[in-house]
């Protein structure tokens, strides 16, 4: 997976790392720091709550162990979501039987490699519509229509699943697209090409939701390199 660079990251992201095992925290902190991420550590749920409430802005991602004394990782995230519906979270555990208690895409099993952790963390961070609500009717379901990646920003065109109002959201790119920004499905080359301002663009289509994805040729080249 291509990693973000200073040119494509709006600001360094901060991860709140929560684990009652000091050794696990130290090793995981080193892995995250190698990805140019800021890391704030907490030894459990109550400490993490205090750090969250005192932080401004809040951390971009909470990476928490599930099985901890005093407060489980699941209870911690449920509490934080009540405070911030846009919270992004990733769960970890050495007990594989706990994997089914959270969404699979938000779980990583211990022990993990540096590459496995990096993939999960950046995938969790790169969810541009996480917590989206319609400005017209406050509905939370949407249909992705089109996404345009110019190498620096991502313009998302979507339609509310309730009132059908079309909206456009522009976000910074954390790393070149490797999946659909709407449904996280695989993005396939459609064979179409567009010419705009004398530059080539590659036409792509999500294999799951059929959203049209336009990726600038330079951005695609970075992803492929």
**pLDDT tens figures, 91-113:** 999 998 888 888 887 899 999 99
Contacts of 32 (CB under 8 A, 6+ apart): 15, 17, 39, 63, 117, 121
pTM, rounded to two decimals: 0.68
More confident residue, 97 or 129: 97
Reported confidence tier of residue 5, pLDDT bands at 50, 70, 90: very low
Q: What is the pLDDT of residue 198?
A: 40
Reported confidence tier of residue 25, pLDDT bands at 50, 70, 90: very high
CA 122/CA 100 separation, integer angstroms: 22
Contact present, 87 and 80 (Cβ < 8 Å):
yes
| Stretch 7-13: mean pLDDT | 55
Reported confidence tier of residue 217, pLDDT bands at 50, 70, 90: very low
Q: What domains can you pick out in the chain, each with its CATH number?
A: 14-125 (3.40.50.2300), 142-224 (no CATH)
| Stretch 18-30: mean pLDDT | 97
């Amino acid at each position: 997976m291509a990693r973000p660079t200073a040119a494509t990251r709006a600001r360094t992201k901060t991860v709140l790392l929560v684990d009652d095992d000091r050794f696990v925290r130290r090793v995981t902190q080193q892995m995250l720091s190698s990805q140019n991420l800021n890391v704030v550590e907490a030894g459990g749920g109550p400490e993490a709550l205090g750090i969250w409430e005192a932080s401004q802005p809040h951390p971009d991602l909470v990476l928490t162990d599930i099985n901890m004394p005093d407060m489980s990782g699941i209870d911690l995230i449920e509490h934080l979501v009540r405070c911030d519906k846009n919270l992004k979270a990733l769960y970890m555990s050495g007990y594989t039987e706990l994997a089914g208690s959270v969404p699979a895409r938000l779980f990583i099993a211990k022990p993990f490699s540096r590459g496995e952790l990096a993939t999960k963390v950046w995938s969790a961070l790169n969810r541009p519509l996480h917590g989206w609500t319609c400005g017209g009717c406050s509905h939370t379901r949407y249909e992705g229509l089109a996404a345009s990646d110019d190498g620096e920003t991502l313009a998302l065109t979507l339609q509310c699943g309730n009132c059908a109002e079309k909206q456009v959201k522009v976000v910074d790119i954390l790393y070149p697209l490797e999946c659909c920004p709407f449904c996280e499905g695989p993005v396939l080359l459609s064979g179409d090409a567009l010419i705009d301002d004398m530059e080539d663009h590659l036409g792509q289509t999500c294999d799951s939701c059929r959203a049209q994805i336009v990726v600038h040729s330079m951005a695609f080249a970075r992803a492929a390199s």
